[in-house]
Amino acid sequence: MNRRHRIGALAAAALLAPFALVACGDNSAEADPAVSKDAPLHDMLPEELQDKDSLTIASNVEYPPFEFLDSDNKTVLGIDREIADGLEKQLGIKLVFDNIAFDAIIPGLESGRYEMAMSAMTDNLERQQQVDFVDYFKAGAGVMSRTEDGDSYQTLDDICGLTAGIVKGTTEVPQAAEGKPPIESVIFPGQNQAILAIANGRVDVVLMDSAPGAYAAAQTTGLQMSPPYQSQPFGVVFAKGTDELQKAVQKALENMLESGDYEAALAKYGLESGAVDAFPINGATE
């Protein structure tokens, strides 16, 4: 399709802001009240981490509303940052986000460069072969389309034969190969590039998680997001063999649920519908 589409000025600014990649968000651990050995669950951390001021969290910080950069291009905002703030209070250690490509997150965990990852990553059986998850949100894959297309594109079957934008390393990549006639996949390094591609008419649709898709579409003139056609959990991600740290984070999430901090983090971005009432380790079954 050769169509030209306009992005509203405010929406364009919101989409383009996260393009300025930085090594880390502005998350200095110096003199931070989150760093405290008196925190409720500090003793649950692995012994080798209890004397550290901070843990480095791998994240692809261009996925609003889960993580994105503020207008200063340094400060990390979003649901995952809000949840990280709650984890800090429970664990007594600062969580510093490092902004990297999405498909570099699992290799970074496996190499030991990062202790954890928070990047709205879908827990599935394939990924469980490489890493472990503590699930904290339920979401589904959906189709982003142009409003002029109405309800034509709701499922994978609906977009057979079309050109679909997909973010590199996401679960939508193998899904897109299942349609007949085949879906032509165009891979983008990040969500912002994929959304700009559909807004500019370079692709017909974008396959992405429905929650951030709905958030982005609401800020972009002429775009809409379908209801999810498949539901799976998101998880905080860990390297294999980090059971002690996983259990500490799991307990911290349980405490946040009890205190109301967990629901408040989701409510701040209007995603209470994705709340869960338990935080299983490797809860995905497909």
User: What is the SS3 string spanning 235-258?
Assistant: EEEEECCCHHHHHHHHHHHHHHHH
- The predicted pLDDT at position 210 comes to 83
- The predicted pLDDT at position 177 comes to 63
Please identify every stretch of the chain with a pLDDT value under 50, giving residue numbers as ranges.
1-30
* Residue 57 and residue 237 in contact, taking contact as beta carbons nearer than 8 Å: no
Task: Give residue-wise pLDDT tens across range 48-85.
Answer: 999 999 999 999 998 889 999 999 999 999 999 999 99
- Residues 14-138+232-274, CATH architecture: 3-Layer(aba) Sandwich (3.40)
Cα–chain center distance at 30: 27
Cα separation, 106 vs 108, in Å, equals: 5
User: Hey, where are the domains in the chain?
Assistant: 14-138+232-274, 140-230
Which residues neighbour 186 within 8 Å (Cβ) at sequence distance 6 or greater? 163, 164, 165, 166, 197, 202, 203
Cα separation, 41 vs 255, in Å, equals: 10
- The predicted pLDDT at position 190 comes to 85
CATH topology of domain 140-230: D-Maltodextrin-Binding Protein; domain 2 (3.40.190)
Q: Report the predicted TM-score, pTM, of the whole model to 2 decimal places.
A: 0.72
* Residue 173 and residue 194 in contact, taking contact as beta carbons nearer than 8 Å: no
